[in-house]
Amino acid sequence: MEKLLVIDLTEKSYKVENIDPEMARGYIGGSGLSARLLYDRIKLDIDPLGPENPLMFMTGPLVGTSMPSAGRCAVSARSPLTGFWGESNTGGFIGPEMRFAGFDGVLINGRADKPCWVSVLDNKVKFHDAAPLWGQDTYQTQDSIKEILADPKARVACIGPAGENLVKMAAIVNDHGRAAGRTGMGAVMGSKNLKAIAFRGSGKVHLADPAGYKEVVGEILQTVKDDLSAQAFQLAGTSGYVDMATMFGDMPAGYYQVGEWEESSNLSGILLAEEHLIRGTSCYRCPIVCGRETRTVKYKVDKVDGPEYETIASFGSLALVDDLEGVIYAGHLCNVYGLDTISTGSTIAMVCDLFDKGILDAEQTGGLEIRFGDVEMSHRLIEMTAKREGFGKLIAEGSAALAAHYGVPEMAATVRNLEIPMHDARSFSGMAPVYALSPRGACHLQGDMYGVDLGMAPATELGIHPGERFENSLEKGQTTARSQSWRSVYNALTVCHFMNPGASKIQRALNAATGWDYSLDELMLSGKRIFSLKRIINHNLGSTIEDDRLPEFMLKGFSTGGYARF
């Protein structure tokens, strides 16, 4: 669309800027172009929760087209959770609708003097009073705004109570329970008194070569339909990975300190499908349909978005909980309040470990006994965290801050203050440098080497080949670096990581959509450029080589389970 919408919440004004075509070509879109546009705006002296911290929503050049699984949107700012480069990514329909409304991205500056929300309808921008919406959960907010706009097809990105209360792991939620969850972007939105932004448009995305694009998209669609891993996600969602992850030791248990936990079988995606699944759900034009809509009888919730694999592991095995309905409900509460399930679940699991080791007791938590295996306590802590009540005030600061508060910073399972996802680097060695070097902190979407070594995400044209999962060699490091560059391209396009038709097809699609003339080598160079720029931003924000590490306790191997060869 070649347009950037720039909103000033302080002045309740906006303007439209053209996006520099050379800059766009160099950084593509998504979190890549966001990093370039924010590079001059994010400074060491800005408060992540201050009005001077810019918040960027950005799509990519394939979003809103006929490309399968290209319906994503990146959200970026300085992270209040980590203090460094903050970036998150969400699916659903919000990204395409932003482009249909006329814009590739939205840059939000300043802070409103009172709660507001913004509508962007076919290039028309309007500011609204959000006082009646303040305090509503994310589902209520989406429904309220659609009713106000009298348009059930409007797409709404909003915060819940967690974002309003500046919880540093707060998410931005859209399309029911889809979320830009990581790095606390919901808290940035809350700090600006911005409850929501809604998009609706009738525009179309221009293609430089419609015939060429149609041809390659047809090839990609067939490749995705034939892809066994994509078929597996369609059948069981990401929760279908639970059993395989357990077999390989990839799904962590007991706050990363239990090597083998047989009860994880009670969290299986098969059980989820057999006992709780209503239907599969998909993002914009996605044939994979990996989303799950479930129910829980025990907690009397007829429709729950998810849970996905990360949520199952975060509130399940990581906390030694094998109550699947309890885990489903924990994920639901995070969606309702607007919380990142990975950071929230990991921080609660750390608290369980602090109790086990005698570092914490009930006197310090206001009478709460927080133990492994108690999912009901997790539910209570989720609510307390979102509302910043009692001990929840400390959990709301995240694992690194909480561990430091009690004098045990080494117990935080974080990299650059961001909680590590539910893929254990001791099971797939390539994940160790991915986590250690990831610009936003520990992130499995900056280079999914577990998927590469399982044969789910190879890009052989780029030298990204499946290998032996415990391998520790220069060659493995080089493969990991290529994977990080390639996923930087994905996060710029921005397309789903589950859609892997081969690099050449992605290259052809990008060129046909934009009129650019990228070679594969140049495309990889853009990935390196994007990855490096984000690390330069971190350097400017005070990050050093000392941050490029995993916690020591997560480098200790086990004699049993899927880790045994570590």
68-79, pLDDT tens digit by residue?
999 999 999 999
- Do residue 179 and residue 51 come from a single domain? yes
pLDDT for 409 equals: 98
Cβ-in-10-Å burial (0-12, 13-18, 19+) of 366 comes to: exposed
pLDDT confidence tier of residue 234, bands split at 50, 70 and 90: confident
DSSP class of residue 181 equals -
Does residue 374 share a domain with residue 251?
A: yes
User: 241 with 345, same domain?
Assistant: yes
Whether the Cβ atoms of residue 47 and residue 79 lie closer than 8 Å to each other: no
- Mean confidence (pLDDT) of the chain: 96
Residues 409, 191, 40, 26, CA torsion sign: positive
Please give the single-letter amino acid code of residue 234: Q
Q: Kindly state whether residues 123 and 38 are assigned to the same domain.
A: yes
Residues 253 and 338 in one domain: yes
How far apart CA 2 and CA 20 sit, in angstroms, is 8
Return phi, psi of residue 447, to 5°.
160, 90
State the Cα–Cα distance between residues 486 and 295, nearest whole angstrom: 37
- Indicate if 301 and 194 belong to the same structural domain: no
Amino acid 132 reads P
246 C-beta neighbours (distance < 10 Å), count: 23
On the 0-12 / 13-18 / 19+ scale of CB atoms within 10 A, 519 is exposed
**For 450-493, how does the pLDDT look when each residue is reduced to its tens digit (9 = 90+)?**
999 999 877 899 999 999 999 999 999 999 999 999 999 999 99
35 occurs within a structural domain? yes
- Asked if 73 and 64 touch (Cβ cutoff 8 Å), the reply is no
Within a 10 A sphere around the Cβ of 6, how many other Cβ atoms? 16
Mean pLDDT along residues 263-283: 95
Asked whether residue 519 is assigned to any structural domain, the reply reads: no
- The identity of residue 160, as a single letter, is G
125 and 238 assigned to the same domain: no
Q: Return the residue matching tokens 């650059």.
A: 416
Prediction pTM value: 0.97
Residue 9 has pLDDT above 50, yes or no: yes
Q: What is the CA radius of gyration of the chain?
A: 22
Q: Is the pLDDT of residue 148 over 70?
A: yes
Residue 468 lies in a domain: no
Residue 432 has pLDDT above 80, yes or no: yes
What pLDDT shows up at residue 565?
56
Q: 376, 410, 444: which is the final residue of a domain?
A: 410
Q: Which residue has the tokens 């200790």?
A: 556
Tokens of 164: 């309003």
Residue 319 lies in a domain: yes
Span 288-314, mean pLDDT? 96
CATH number for the domain spanning 23: value is 3.60.9.10
Range 221-227, long-range pairs (CB < 8 A, 24+ positions): 221/68, 221/287, 223/501, 223/502, 223/505, 224/68, 224/69, 224/287, 224/288, 224/499, 224/501, 225/287, 227/500, 227/501
Shared domain for 157 and 253, answered yes or no, is no
Question: Using DSSP, how many helices (H) and how many strands (E) does the chain show?
Answer: 21, 17
Residues 265 and 187 occupy one common structural domain: no
Q: What is the tens place of the pLDDT at every residue in 87-112? A: 999 999 999 999 999 999 999 999 99
Single out the residue in 141, 172, 200 at which a domain terminates: 200
Residues 266 and 370 in one domain: yes
DSSP 8-state assignment for residue 427: T
What is the DSSP code (8-state) at residue 214?
Answer: H
**For the purposes of burial, counting CB atoms within 10 Å of the CB of 474, is it exposed (0-12), middle (13-18) or buried (19 or more)?**
exposed
Q: Which residue in 394, 415, 353, 416 sits closest to 168, CA to CA?
A: 394
Is residue 262 assigned to a domain?
A: yes
CATH number at residue 363: 1.10.569.10
- Which of 173, 200, 227 terminates a domain? The answer is 200
DSSP 46: S
Average pLDDT, integer, range 5-14: 98
Give the end-to-end CA distance of the chain in Å, rounded to a whole number: 49
Q: State what percent of residues in the chain have pLDDT above 70.
A: 99
Model confidence band, residue 559 (pLDDT cutoffs 50, 70, 90): confident
- pLDDT tens digits along 171-180: 999 999 999 9
Same-domain status, 272 and 177: no
- Looking at residue 20, the DSSP 8-state letter turns out to be P
pLDDT of 425 above 80: yes
Indicate whether 154 and 87 sit together in one domain: yes
Overall number of domains in the chain: 2
User: What would the two tokens of residue 409 be?
Assistant: 């910073």
Label residue 564 by pLDDT band (50, 70, 90): low
Q: What is the DSSP letter of 124?
A: E
The answer for residues whose C-beta is within 8 angstroms of residue 473's C-beta and 6 or more apart is none
Do the Cβ atoms of 533 and 525 come closer than 8 Å?
no
- The confidence score (pLDDT) of residue 563 equals 65
pLDDT at 566: 45
Sheet of 13-18: strands edge to edge?
A: 13-18, 3-8, 105-109, 55-58, 73-78, 85-90
Condensed to tens digits (0 to 9), the pLDDT of residues 240-271 reads: 999 999 999 999 999 999 988 999 999 999 99
- Give the residue among 390, 395, 348 at the shortest CA–CA distance from 373: 348
**Which amino acid makes up residue 552?**
E
Structural domain span for residue 224: 216-410
